[in-house]
A and B are shown apart, each in its own frame.
Chain A
Amino acid sequence: MHPPRTYTRLLLTLVALLATAALQGAAPRFSVVPPRTVYEGDRFAVTYRLENGEGTSLQVSDINGCTKLYGPSTSSSRSFSVVNGRTESSSRYEYTYTYRADRAGEFTIPEASIVVDGKRLTTQPARFTVQPATARGTAPGRRPTTIDNVDTQQSGRQIGADDVFVRIILSRSSVYEQEPIECTIKLYTTYNISAFMPTVQPAFDGFLIQELDNQAQLNREEQLNGRTYLTAVLKRCLIFPQKSGTLTINSGNYDITVVQYENISMGGIMTVRQPVEKQIKVNSNSARVQVKPLPQPQPEGFSGAVGTFEASTRLVGNTFRTNDAATLIYLISGTGNIRYLKEPVVDFPDEFEQYTPKSDVQTHVIGSNVTGTMTVEYTFVPQTTGDFRIGAGRFVYFDPQAAQYRTINTPQYDIKVVKGAETAVSKDQEAISAKNTDIRHILAGTDATLRRDTTPIVDRWWYPVVYILILAALAVTLLLLARHARREGDVQGMRLARARKVARQRLREADAKLRARDADGFYEATHRALQGYLSDKLQLPLSQLSSESIDERLAERGAPDDLRRRVLDTLEQCQMARYTPGSGERTDEVYRAAGDIINDIENLKRPAR
């Protein structure tokens, strides 16, 4: 046993294993590539392709109905690649037979087989169609260029607008404002292109653009209007219409150098094709987008968000101090024009110092939509202590699918701000300041105050009348007062007036007796009337009333002798008559005398006192 040899064998085994693994990873494949478009009388190629293997004893049957011109011509290619330290190799052998299509119709390429590593691989039968020569309609030189037939890419040809052009492809042609549209600008060509230079960039008037990743490679075949083109995506972007109406997109102008082939005769039937570059200009194409305006009226708080969104807020921390910065985080996530959202307005009290909000938008594109999140940080510094309510707000967006506005209410936070660290300039007290003023509230209980006539009372008819009435009342009162005062000021006058009244009353009594023919009663009444009258008039009590005293007082008052005698006589007559029967016939005389006496005494002048 020699250890080195053992190692060598082990190593060889490992290499063999690895090689087998590599071969197993890329199994040999044998396929047929049918011709693309064949017209009657054309030459066409059928290629059998063997990948990842070396074949022997190729067996190919002729295509029934077509004449084999020559073949096979063989070409091979081999490639190695090292990925992550692993070596991969691939190989390709191509066996090409050239046929001529003798007649139009459908043909079948029969099975072909090849032996690889002792194993026979067989292709599937493939079908292709030979178009009648009339279908082409044009001479061979005028038939449309095709990407795989250099015969159609002659240098003398005019390059038509449908040979090389730029097309705008929109995902949708009718959208709401702010609703994204995927826009692809694609180059279509039937020639090979050696140089490409945009002279006028695509124009997106009225749109905001979000570019998407794109590598402009001329690497894909595409069928369009019955022709096959090589295509390259020049630009891929999402566009957000900013205004309503019909908006137009221009694809831009390009200078393109295409490759055509020139046939150079080498004598005899030998011709050599030589590529010739030709520069052409591709003009702008345009596409139209119908942009619908957002429905009116727009709800309060709407700031242009279109799509489907979620919104939430988060308050960082739970203790707040004056002069201590705090943060409210507003998170909006969803699909739509998230990149172009305005920062939502968050309601902070005036007592909070606010900084410009910081916003961060992260987006990625899914299909023709943008999804992402917008994070806005609101930094605020409470300036005074107290209980505050912050963050209440609403996020309103337009949902284009449902064609209606939706509102997300963000929660409000009740926070308590406590005293924080003292600042260098600390105020002890602040003057009370009104944050806002408004009109005073309505007054309730209007009903009780309703009046039909609101004329000022000064202007009413009764107002001056009341004054006239007051004046009249005053006048009457004053008049009455004057009279009262006059009497009050003179007591004698009072008594005199009363005396006369009493005397008359007494004499009326006597008069009544006279009419009743009661002589005794009459004299007694007359006597009493006179006595009473004199007592009052002369201010003598009845007990002191005598002929002498009466005479004396009457004299004092300046009564004439005649009157004094009459008074005394009448009094005596009355007294006498009461005790003398049959004196009834003189009653009238006595009555008249008594009346005269009273009248005469009344007519006496007031003594000057």
Chain B
Amino acid sequence: MTRYLLALICLALANLTAAAQNDAAAADSAYVAEDYTRALQLYQEALADGNSATLQYNLGNTWYRLGRPGQAILHYERALRLDPTLTPARENLAFVNSRITDRPGERGTFLSNLLDAAADTLPRDGYAWLALTLFLLAAAGIVLYRWSSVVTVRKAGFFGAIAALVLFAIALFLALRSSAIATDTRQAIVTKSSTILSTAPRAPRTRAEEAILLHEGTRVTILDRLTSHADSTVWLDVEVDNEHRAWINADDVTLIYDR
């Protein structure tokens, strides 16, 4: 009885995987056949079975073809969260960003941008594995130093261990930064065609309360969130770039990384 049950579960699992593969492959063909509505639907079905940078990238392309640059940017950003080395996603993100209405000013500081760029030079888990490897190397170096009776080997082990430890510290730092980027819940994309930001955490009542006009596709950084007492809408204090900050209706944006 148990054996049958096990076989049944195995079969069901196999079907599930096959279904997901069919979805993604069928979506690819639909995209090539320029049936973007169907491609979108199939990619989203595939998303229920698992996530990947290429899947997000393909979704971004499909949204772009459907004339929704905001959604496209959102999915390219998600693709880059999963794999920052996915060059096509980076290129397409830059391309679509150059086509949207808003051109934001400078964002972040020189140092933070540099560190982010450094953290993005390897695949998402690259630095984590590198740190682990360096740590193992350092341990090996220590063991070598302690174990060998040959002076050069002992020296190599000692200095190698020190170098590996320094590199390990850097790699671990970048791995943590990379992970922080990947799971940053403060980044969001404007997905409404246009929205007026308010100077206060509620809908602007007068012209004087209208802060910024943003269009679809612009990335914002969420700093704070408040629920309006008047109509219980959620308002987010967002930073568009280093110089622009205002409150936006939470319904008008979509988080890039949403737990």
Contacts and interface: CB of A to CB of B under 8 A. Distances in A.
Interface of A: 437-447, 449-452, 454-459, 463, 466-467, 470-471, 473-474, 477-478, 481-482, 485
B164 interface: no
Q: Sort A-B residue pairs by CB-CB distance and give the 10 closest, nearest first.
A: A450-B50, A449-B52, A456-B179, A447-B21, A440-B88, A446-B24, A458-B179, A442-B58, A443-B54, A439-B92
A466 B129 CA distance: 11
A439 B64 contact: yes
A447 B54 CA distance: 9
Interface stretch (B6-14, B131-139, B207-215, B216-224): B131-139
B125 interface: yes
B54 A485 contact: no
B91 to A, nearest CB: 6
B251 interface: no
A485 B64 CA distance: 67
A446 B128 contact: no
B255 to A, nearest CB: 15
A54 B31 CA distance: 95
B46 A450 contact: yes
Nearest to B132: A466
Nearest to A489: B149
A562 B24 CA distance: 93
B191 interface: no
Contact of B58 (A443, A463, A485): A443
Nearest to B98: A437
Contacts of A455: 183
A459 B146 contact: no
Contacts of B51: 450-452, 454
Nearest to A437: B95
A404 B169 CA distance: 73
Contact of B142 (A450, A459, A478): A478
A252 to B, nearest CB: 50
Nearest to B168: A467
B256 interface: no
Contacts of B128: 456-458, 463
Given A440-B88, A450-B24, A478 B54 contact: no
A134 to B, nearest CB: 79
Contacts of A477: 143
Contacts of A481: 143, 146-147
A450 B56 CA distance: 10
A461 to B, nearest CB: 13
B175 interface: yes
Interface string B174-200: 011011001100000000000000000
A458 B126 CA distance: 10
B124 interface: yes
Contacts of A474: 139, 142-143
Nearest to A484: B147
B139 A473 contact: yes
B135 A470 contact: yes
A369 B214 CA distance: 53
Contacts of A458: 125, 128, 175-176, 178-179
B153 to A, nearest CB: 14
B234 interface: no
B96 interface: yes
A446 B52 contact: yes
7 contacts: A443-B88, A447-B46, A450-B46, A456-B179, A459-B179, A471-B139, A477-B143
Contacts of A478: 142-143, 146
Contacts of A449: 52-55
Contacts of A473: 139
A507 B135 CA distance: 50
B50 A452 contact: yes
A450 B55 contact: yes
Given A443-B58, A458-B128, A459-B179, 15 more contacts: A439-B61, A439-B64, A439-B96, A440-B91, A440-B92, A447-B25, A447-B46, A450-B46, A456-B179, A458-B176, A463-B128, A467-B132, A470-B135, A474-B139, A474-B142
B49 interface: yes
Nearest to A471: B139
Given A442-B58, A446-B55, A457 B129 contact: yes
A69 B37 CA distance: 95
Given A458-B128, A478-B142, A481-B146, A446 B135 contact: no
A442 B57 contact: yes
A442 B53 CA distance: 11
A96 B220 CA distance: 104
